[in-house]
Amino acid sequence: MAKIKYDYLNKLLIRKKVRYLSPKDNRIKPATRGAIKDYLEEAGVKVVFPKDWDWEFTTKQGVFTKRLSKLVYKKYNTSLPPEVLAKLGLMAREGSMGKPKEYIFDVTDTINWRKGAFKDHSCFWGGYSKLPKRGTFELNALMRSGALALRFFQGISFIRRGLGRSWIWESGPYIHLFNAYGLPGNTQAGVLAGYLGLSHKRINGRSNLYLNNDYIYVIGTEADLAKAPDGTEYGGYDQWGYPIYKKIRMSFR
């Protein structure tokens, strides 16, 4: 797992062209589909895809590798090795992306900007305060837990303006990105994942702090993302007999 070295990153702006998966670039191209089938055969697994197989990278049933794993296990009673899944995930993602776009961003643990500077009219700022209330439980809990701010900029030279911001927090095999402002969360997660050479997906989540829309983006390897709960899997039943869905929970103290 690639670690975020904020003590280095926050000393400079990262100016980089990054390819990321946007909703309009979700369909895996025909040439990549053929390459995927060839790679599977080379790996010793000849998969016959159903005629109605959905070649979107991400669907309501999960990312491509997760759906493929289920198909292979159901039809052939075997599991794909993690390294094969990781390679297939990268192939599928690369085969569904658009042209690279340049983004300017940094990562910092210093919260010193005014409310709205990164288009972030966030609950963590408290009421209508221009500066964050450093004494609030929410902000202190974030910082104590090692959360960082991912910030995007626009403009040239030293005349830069805030373009967007989100919180990121690393736990286990994942980097969690949540409460994005200015730029869509999918874009921010895609840019960071592209920079780190990883992948990302949106899942349902829970937190003891403010969590916009009850979802987060997780960033990690394709093999790890295939294991992440996405809020559609059952995790038992509550006392009234209603199904409980598995979700990633973030707990800040």
pLDDT band at 135 (very low <50, low <70, confident <90, very high): very low
**Helices in the chain by DSSP H: which ranges?**
6-9, 30-42, 64-76, 82-94, 137-144, 185-196, 222-227
pLDDT at residue number 186: 87
Instruction: Compute the CA torsion angle 211, 214, 219, 225 (nearest 10 deg).
Output: 150
> Tokens for 8?
């280095």
pTM of the model: 0.67
- Per-residue pLDDT of 166-221, as tens digits, reads 999 888 888 989 999 999 898 899 888 888 878 888 888 777 777 888 788 989 88
Q: Quick one: which of 216, 168, 205, 193 has its CA closest to 1?
A: 193
pLDDT at residue number 134: 47
